[in-house]
Amino acid sequence: MISNKMRILVIVFLIGMILFLSCKKENDNNTIFTGITVTDNVGRISSRDTTDWKLFENWSEKENSLFDDNLNSACSTGDFDYSIIAYPNPCSGIINLHISKPETMRLAFRVVDKNYNVLITQDSLYSSTIAFNFSYIHISNETVRIYYKLYGESCAFRGHGDLKIK
C-alpha cells in the first residue's frame, strides 16, 4: 500500500513532467522580425530600430550559416565613419541600400523571410549603393531581413536590417 506522502510525491512528479514536456522551445526557424528603421525616399530617418544597421553583431549558428565563410573576427573601424541604411523603408517595390565604407571593402548580403528562406543573395559587391526590386518576389505587407557582411583583408563586420515591404 502506498502512503499519502508517496501519492503526493508521485502526483507532483507527474504534474511536473507534464508541464516540462508541454513546454516548447521557441522555433529558431520562425524568427519574428520586430520593428524597422523608418526612412524617407532620400534616407532620412524618422524612427530608428535600435537593433538594425549595426556592424558588430553576434549571430546565431543559423544566421552564420547564411554565409559560406568562417570569417567572424571584427574589423577595426579606425577613423572611418561607417554607416549603412535602407530607404525608403517601408517600400512598395524598390528599396536602396547605402553603405558608407572604404572602397576596398566588399559587401555580401542575404535577404531572408521570417523562415530564413533566402530571397536575394549577392557576394563581392564594392558599390556603395545597391537597389533591390522586391516586386518580382511577390511579397506584400511583410517584413524581410537583410543580413550583411563587410569584408576587410582578414576581418568582417556583420549586421542586419529589417525591411517592410508594402
The domain ranges of the chain are 28-165
CA angle 151, 131, 159 (to 5 degrees): 35
Per-residue pLDDT tens digits for 47-73: 999 999 999 888 899 999 999 887 667
Measured CA to CA, the distance from residue 41 to residue 56 in angstroms comes to: 27
Highest mean pLDDT among 32-41, 73-82, 103-112, 151-160: 103-112
| Cα dist from 83 to 26, 131, 142, whole Å | 32, 17, 25
Measured CA to CA, the distance from residue 121 to residue 137 in angstroms comes to: 13
CATH for 28-165 (3.40.50.150, 1.10.10.520, 2.160.10.10, 2.60.40.3080): 2.60.40.3080
Q: What is the pTM of this model?
A: 0.78
